[in-house]
Structure 1
Amino acid sequence: MRRREFTGFVGWTIVGWPLLVHAQQGQSKKRIGVLIARPENDPEGEGYITAFHQALEQLGWKSSHNVEIIYRWTPGDVRLAEALAKELVAAGPDILVINATAGVIAARGVAGTIPIVMVAVADPVAQGFVHSLERPGGSITGFAVEEPEMGAKWVELLKEIAPKVRHITAIYNPNSSPSAGMFLPAMKNVEVPLSFELAVSQVRTEDDLERAITIAGGQQEGGLVFLPDSFTSSHRDMIANLVARQGLPAIYSTPAFVKSGGLIGYGFDRADIFRRSAGYVDLILKGEKPSQLPVQMPTKYELAINLRAAKALGLSVSPTLLARADEVIE
């Protein structure tokens, strides 16, 4: 049973606004603006930074020598994303790295001709960020996320770990994740074969979250699916506590939830996406055009299971499911 430990954010200085590090005499530093859809000091977000920095350094970009990086953080707050995107653009970056849909929407409106590498954005063609995955066109390219069929996969895993679930509520924030609804048709398609009834709860505030989870807790044999959404992912501890209080089995599209006490998580490795995004930053800073760089899909997915949460819910996790897990918390 393989376990993974979080690698902390060590040895890097985050450049703040409006204070910027001046280039060394005789050298011209490139400037990268990064917007991360997590709260500042969030362990998951710091993992993104570590992966991004390590990859940049391997490509020859070092903060002490030829690059400075300006970070901003937003916990799924659309208005804050708009304000921070303006701050990043005002700092005069050579390129922007923007995490999640709300951030890309905000950055696109103010970036002008500044290239944007989007990270973890659902269905960028349908959202109008690029013309196609193969030929993005314009000044935006980067890394998309799950296909719509993942909705069925989350339900299947929830039913596998909690077979008695008969009423499943899908939760997401339509403001921070306007494309999350794309997963619902695939979930509806497996309602009959997997014997459950699907409900959808859109949340916009912490009060909405508490209300939605409480209502789901009142359902007989209820369960939850948390769809990809920077707002809910930025409230992992709160959500895991509320779900545990209601005694509900839940699956999360971000595996990091299991570290907060969540039962099971399945989704792509977001740190790996940030690592790969450094390659596109390198190419664009060296003269490649975003319009010619195809949008890429995830290549690494992770399944995480929390046995303590399973025990508290009276669930027995099958050896087959455990053998498939990348991370198990006991």
Structure 2
Amino acid sequence: MRRREFITLFVSMAATPLAAQAQQRARVKRIAFVSPALKVSEMGLSGPPQYRAFFEELSRFGYVKGQNLVIDRYSGEGRPERYSELVRDVISTHPDLILAVAARLSLDFKMATTTIPIVTIVNDPVALGLVASIARPAGNITGVTIGTELELIGKRIELLVEAMPGLSTLSYLVSRSYWEDMRGAAAREAAKRAGVSLKAALLDSGFYLTEYQRVFSSMEGADALMVSDEAEHLATGAAIVELAAAGRIPTMYAYGEYVRLGGLMAYSIDLPETFRRLANLIDKVLKGTSPGDIPFYRPTKFELSINLKTAKSLGLALPAMLLVRANQVVE
């Protein structure tokens, strides 16, 4: 079920005159931090490394607990059918800024408000219809653009082929809506360029454990699996990794968190660095810059994560050059 909680930032601060403290209290800003899948309890300093980087960067910009910033955290818990209700709840609180992660939520917020600033992370905001231009977004939205599906999926397939030179058929764990829109088309084109046959392992009825179990039980004839970058998968991330292990399916993921859970490989943007950039964008907006005047940031750092223990359990002898290039190796 959708949940809402709030978190405030912790940073030590020398005592200030009472007048200055009163002035700061008058400028308290409220951010709505909305994740499509992660639990609210995971969206803080004790969560994945990118969240610690995010909060630490906000602290570096001078945002202080109880004085000038409050962050309300919301989770869609991997249930897109509940996003419209979640969006209404968030909008009704009239935050100063909304940080919305991933495409579905960002599009819903775009439809819901043209006045509250929105900062987001998406693959291609222009192709998705979020903004008119990456350089000059216009409107009330800015954020981080990860890149096109064609680029990222092409790289993930390339790395899988390097790990498994005989790879010819690849299953793609993906929702039907994703598979049938431009993102699915980009995935098929990337596979075609790599000379790999791509088969959809379709989630037809949502991101539910029973649906994942159905898909894995019916999966056959593929040399490996790739999981789409849909953030909703993260709500069931541990179960996906377990199902892949039970089926002895070498799997490529879109986020390093899966590798820490026991997944074989992941190729993604450098998430801590990206979330530091998000904090930078948020700071600019809260200080008065219109989101429409702030270009989308495009990350230049990417991370390859590999779980050696998982590779050994699958009987994969990964090439030494691949391991050398990995940013994170779990043993």
Q: Same fold (TM over 0.5)?
A: yes
- Aligned residue number for residue 94 of structure 2: 92
Q: Equivalents in 1 of 2:199, 2:218: separation in Å?
A: 11
Deviation at 1:38, TM superposition (A): 2.8
> Are the counterparts in 2 of residues 143 and 295 from structure 1 also a CA contact under 8 Å?
yes
CA pair 108-174 structure 1, distance change in 2 beyond 3 A: farther
1:36 aligns with 2:35: yes
> Are the counterparts in 1 of residues 38 and 234 from structure 2 also a CA contact under 8 Å?
no
> Are the counterparts in 1 of residues 124 and 145 from structure 2 also a CA contact under 8 Å?
yes
- Aligned residue number for residue 200 of structure 1: 200
TM-score, normalised by the number of residues in structure 1: 0.85
Q: Equivalents in 1 of 2:316, 2:283: separation in Å?
A: 47
- Aligned residue number for residue 211 of structure 1: 214
Q: Equivalents in 2 of 1:256, 1:180: separation in Å?
A: 22
Q: Aligned to 1:109, which of 97, 108, 111? A: 111
AA aligned to 2:322 is L
Bigger mean CA deviation after superposition, 77-86 or 240-249: 77-86
> Are the counterparts in 1 of residues 207 and 233 from structure 2 also a CA contact under 8 Å?
no
Q: Aligned to 2:79, which of 72, 77, 80? A: 77
Deviation at 1:75, TM superposition (A): 3.1
1:233 aligns with 2:234: yes
Bigger mean CA deviation after superposition, 181-190 or 125-134: 181-190
TM-score, normalised by the number of residues in structure 2: 0.85
- Aligned residue number for residue 162 of structure 1: 164
Bigger mean CA deviation after superposition, 42-51 or 136-145: 42-51
- Aligned residue number for residue 185 of structure 1: 189
Q: Equivalents in 2 of 1:53, 1:165: separation in Å?
A: 41
2:166 counterpart SS class: coil
AA aligned to 1:213 is F
Q: Equivalents in 2 of 1:235, 1:202: separation in Å?
A: 16
AA aligned to 1:34 is F
How do 1:114-153 and structure 2 match up within 5 A? 114-119=116-121, 121-147=122-148, 148-153=150-155
Q: Equivalents in 1 of 2:84, 2:166: separation in Å?
A: 43
Q: Equivalents in 2 of 1:47, 1:36: separation in Å?
A: 15
CA pair 323-256 structure 1, distance change in 2 beyond 3 A: same
1:169 counterpart SS class: strand
AA aligned to 2:285 is I
- Aligned residue number for residue 18 of structure 2: none
> Are the counterparts in 1 of residues 114 and 139 from structure 2 also a CA contact under 8 Å?
no
CA pair 46-248 structure 1, distance change in 2 beyond 3 A: closer
Could you list the runs of 5+ residues in structure 2 that have no partner in the other structure? 1-5, 9-20
Q: Equivalents in 2 of 1:202, 1:92: separation in Å?
A: 37
Moved beyond 4 Å, runs of 4+: 43-46, 174-179
The number of equivalent residue pairs is: 304
AA aligned to 1:210 is Q
Q: Equivalents in 2 of 1:47, 1:81: separation in Å?
A: 26
Residues 197-236 of structure 1, C-alpha deviations (whole Å, 9 max, x = no match) = 22122213333322332333x31x6211112111223321
Task: Choose between structure 1 and 2: higher helix proportion.
Answer: 2
Deviation at 1:146, TM superposition (A): 3.0
Residues 78-123 of structure 1, C-alpha deviations (whole Å, 9 max, x = no match) = 133322222222212111111111111221222330110112x121
Q: Equivalents in 1 of 2:182, 2:76: separation in Å?
A: 18
